[in-house]
Structure 1
Amino acid sequence: MKIKTGRRVASALGGAALALGITLGTAGTANAWTADWETVDDGHGVGIYNGPSSTSGKHGFHDLYTPDEVYLICWIRGEDIANQGNVWYRTSEVYYYRIGSYNLWGNYYVYGAYVDNYYAFHHRLDECKS
């Protein structure tokens, strides 16, 4: 329960910051109401990158796997990896369940095909404004 409570508090604080227009990096955000947590799908590790490209450099000390989560802000066009599409998600927070509930804060990007096979792109996220 302690882990879930901590993540909920962090999520509420992150949502409040977005609602007030405070960004956690230099890039802008989409409408705050579209942002949401997404559990990483099984099958492929998800790298955390500086930009919407696999050559932009990685952050974090591990790739994300189920049941890890990312806080999705908006989507942006970027590198098309292995002809799977070019949609990347901007994220302000990642949550590692597998290694003891570690949060990584910042303005990062994750590849949509590996996060949720573009579910959030098709159903709820806005395109990034900048």
Structure 2
Amino acid sequence: MTMTPEVLRSDPESEYWFAEGCFILERLNTPEDPALSIARARVLAGGVTRWHRLHGITERYLIEQGSARVEIGHGAGMLVQEVGPGDVVIIPAACPQRIHNTGKCDLVFLALCTPRFVPEAYEDCSADAAD
């Protein structure tokens, strides 16, 4: 694959609500660049995403704004931690996860996926998880 120099402009009007419980603004997600996707996620104050996992995709959250509590994994090995601006959260492929906005403003973070996010990899596992 040959990449060419290019600048991709953000279009705030293309933000959409995702049933996971957050707004998504795709920044980069094309078959021409299958190694990586980048999306901006926004969780409203007090909001929490559904338990979910991505099969075959490692995800990283780069927290840009707000405060949150992430929950990653399950059982005795579950990671539960408070995060804020500048923190990077690493979520291995197929690992159950969710994030709570614990602040009074929108939680905003970049979701970087390798390889790129595809809808077929997404699994809602809320029914399997204990709250």
Q: TM-score w.r.t. structure 2 length?
A: 0.28
For CA contacts below 8 A with separation 6 or more, give which structure has more relative contact order: 2
Query: Which structure is larger by alpha-carbon Rg, 1 or 2?
Result: 2
Q: Would you tell me which structure has more strand in proportion to its own residues?
A: 2
Q: Report the TM-score, using the length of structure 1 for normalisation.
A: 0.28
